[in-house]
Structure 1
Amino acid sequence: MIAIFATVVAALAALLHVYIFIMESVQWTQPRVWRRFGVRDQASAETVRPMAYNQGFYNLFLAIGAVIGLVLYWVGVDGIRAAGVALVLFSLGSMLAAALVLLTTGRAYLRAAAIQGTLPLLGFVLMLFA
């Protein structure tokens, strides 16, 4: 039962990071998106666009790692299962670490860090006991 819950939470963390990828790398030119990230005007959005594009792909790659890890976990063969757990833990741990780094940039980012880090934290802990 814990394994199923861990899988659902880890998959939700991956989906969230895919959504972040879409915002940063695909939809960045939309004012509603760059404003969500605290960018104040179009000129500033254009300046940070390459960074947002790159950062979005980091989020996508972490999500892909978590999903591949979950697939390997559920294959069921012992060695492959262990590799899946390791990959899920690495991906979720990296998502959580990124949220913690975001916290170091100031209190204004507390909500964003909580959104970005809660599912990975829960998934990480649950996966340890799955």
Structure 2
Amino acid sequence: MDNHKPVPPCVDEATVQAQDRALAVVQRLLTGRGICAHRHHTISLGLFATPEVIRPDRPPLRSWMSRHPPELAVIGSQGRDATVTVEACSGCYLVAVRGGDTEAVRCEEPEKVLDLILAMRRMGRTP
């Protein structure tokens, strides 16, 4: 993820796995057309020097980990051309094209994500 973008809310492991599988489908479609795409996962990790909460029945909490939704970065000659994510509630693909709007695509139609990216390249929105 780019450092200047806000970090999306944390999600549970099952949601991350489902979203990653959905993005893998789109990644295979893009790779089949010769388009470079990488899946990125953001994990926040932290360590505590001293325990904040003492629980007599368990050892002190010394670390934490939270997962954020994965994203698929579509790479062109000038860097990231588009970012594809999966909306947590609806499961729709969200396609954010560089210099354009975000388009929603139903989860049953991953080939439409490919069509959007190919159309963006044909229109010359990216080099």
**Higher helix proportion, which one?**
1
TM normalised by structure 1 equals 0.26
**Higher strand proportion, which one?**
2
TM normalised by structure 2 equals 0.27
When Rg is computed on C-alpha atoms for both structures, the one with the higher figure is 2
- Larger RCO of the pair (alpha carbons < 8 Å, separation 6+): 1
